[in-house]
Each structure stands twice: as C-alpha cells, then as structure tokens.
Amino acid sequence: MLYRLFNSNHLLSVILVLLTATALWLRLFLGEVVFFSHLDNPSMPLWDFFTGAWSGKTVFTAAFTTLVLAVLSGLLLNQLVLRYSLLGKQSPLVLLAFLLLASGFLSVQKLNPVWPFVLFLVLALRVLFGGVQRKNPALVCFDAGFLLGLGGLFYVKGLFFFPFLLIAAGILRQASFRSFVALLLGVLLPFILSGAWYLFHDQGQWFYELLLENLMANPGQYKHELFSRIYLLVLVLGIAVAMLASARRTAQQKIVVRRYYRVLFWLLLLCTGAVLSPFFSVELLPIAAVSASVLVANGLDLFRKPFWQELALLLLVGLSAAAQLLSL
C-alpha cells in the first residue's frame, strides 16, 4: 500500500512526498534555539551573504531555506533519474528516498553550506549525463566544473570532489586532455573571479587565508549514541544490498545506463572514503544521499513480491521517523 502510493506518477504521490518532507523538517520549525549548524564555521563570504540577507535571520527562515534546498535538489535528482531511464517507472520515489536519507541527523538538517553545494552537484551531474551525446565534451566538462566551483563558494570542501568529476567524465567517455583542462578551468573560474574582486578591494590575502582555513578545518567527529549507531548500521547495510542489486541489474540494461550507475557508485564510494578522513564528518550525508537514494529506489523496484517492497520502505520511513523523534 505505502510503496504503491509513492511509486506512482499521479499528482497525489508528489503531494504526499512534499507533505512528508514538511513533516521531516517540522522539528526545525518548532523553536530550535540554535538553528545554525557548527558546519558553517569557518564560513565562506558567499555563504555569509546568503544567510545574512534573509535565510539566517530567524528559526523559520533558516528551516524553510533548508527545506526548499532539500526538496529542490531532490526534484532535480528525480528528474535526472527519469530523464535518463535509471528507473523503470515514473514516480517521485527517488525524491522521497533522498529526503528520508538526508534528514537523519539534526546537525546536518540545520542550515549549513552543504545544502547549496548539493544543489550545484546535482546540476553538475545533469550536465555530465546530458553531455554523453554532445560533440564537444570539453564544453560539457567546463560547465560541470563551473557548477562545482559555484557550489564551492558556499562549501569550499566541495573542491575535494573534483576527482569525482574526472572519474565521471572518464566513465561517460568525455575524458581527454582538453576536457581535463576545461574541467579544471571551470572549477577554478569562480574562485579566480572572487579572488580578483577581493584583491581589487585589498583583501586578497584575507581571502586566500580563508580558503586555506576552510579547506583544512576539522569539523569534529559526531558523538554517536546507541540509536545513531543502529541507525547508521541498518542504513549502510540497506544501501549495500541495494548497491549489489543495482549492479546485477545493470548487466541487463543499456550501456549508457550502466555508465550512469557507475558514476553514482563512485560518488557513494568517495563519500564513504572521505568520511573516514579528519576533514569530513556526517555533513557528507546529503551528498552521499544523492547516489544512495537512486540505488535504494532501484533496489525497492527489484523486489519481485510487493510484501518486501512495502516492508523495506516502511523500515526506511520508520527509521527516519525515529531519528526525528530522538533528534540525532
């Protein structure tokens, strides 16, 4: 019942997913005294402008901003999946999975610079996926790199995902020396323009030091309690099973679809490796959810019996609801 309700192309399914998103973000609207995450310290100037202009003024605007960014990123990801035939049926299931996976930890769910970066990362993926049939891969790589660079002006550690774009370009047969140069120039251009502006205003040294401080900052490791350990264990096992099932299914799909899935596999693997370093923590959850949500939705679709589909989705919803109630 629950799976069939969400895995449908009817308008009602989209409305229910949006209502679910509002419920997942409800605790942020209800009087959180600290509505900024520690993840924005130190912060980039563009992030300071973004929060100072409107979104960081009150509890409501902060919560509403993160909700809009999460839903918009999920909608773009869902559209990407449907456009390039990564799933067999049109539905908002990927959007639902993304919201459920990305909302487990309150410190990540709060207003923080990772959310705008996720939006630009999804846009970069759309550019790369759409450039498979284009004759000028260098231009595609430049556009994707530029979008990643724009996201880096909010969350500068997003630059560590530059190798991911290189891997993705290679998997999608867009890699060449020209493409590498174009990708590098695209990533650096937003920072070059920003640096030139600050240099013109005699603040070039300050901007350079701020970049280094942001890149090297240690966000601290999350102090897990019993439920958070169980939550992550079940989540990781579920995603691993979905990943294996998706890998088996790709053998029966078109070559280009297999390449799309390989790109998503690599994004998830890089997030897993990055979280083990001292430079990242649970803030990578929304980034990992970009690929994990597609794999989970695909894994649910692979169940032959409706009972297992309903049970798996119910477990995912129940875990997210428990995380909301216990405020991880």
Selection from 48-62, 63-77, 105-119, 221-235 with the highest mean pLDDT: 63-77
Question: Does pLDDT of 325 surpass 80?
Answer: no
Distinct helix (H) and strand (E) counts, the chain = 16, 0
Residue 174 within any structural domain of the chain: no
Residue 189 forms part of a structural domain: no
pLDDT in tens, 245-274: 777 777 677 888 889 999 999 999 998 888
Q: Does a structural domain hold residue 313? A: yes
CA distance 114 to 158: 8
Which residues, at least 6 apart from 60, have a Cβ–Cβ distance to it below 8 Å? 29
Rounded Cα distance between 140 and 211, Å, is 27
Nearest to 302 by CA among 247, 233, 234, 236: 247
The pTM for the full model equals 0.91
Q: What is the DSSP string of 170-201?
A: HHTT--SHHHHHHHHHHHHHHHHHHHHHHHHT
Place of tokens 């595609």: 140
In a domain, 196, yes or no: no
Domains held by the chain: number:
1
Residue 239 within any structural domain of the chain? yes
Query: Two tokens at 270?
Result: 């890089």
Cα distance between residue 52 and residue 176, in whole Å? 41
Q: Which two tokens stand for residue 59?
A: 């509890």
Confidence class for position 115, pLDDT limits 50, 70, 90: very high
Q: Is residue 140 part of a domain?
A: no
**What is the residue range of 112's domain?**
2-131+223-326
- What mean pLDDT comes out for the span 162-182? 91
Q: 55: pLDDT confidence band, cut at 50, 70 and 90?
A: low
Report pLDDT for 289: 92
Model confidence at 33, pLDDT cuts 50, 70, 90, reads very low
pLDDT in tens, 8-19: 788 888 888 989
The answer to the question of residue 117 being in a domain is yes
Is pLDDT at 74 greater than 50 in this prediction? Answer: yes
Identify whether 71 is part of a domain. Answer: yes
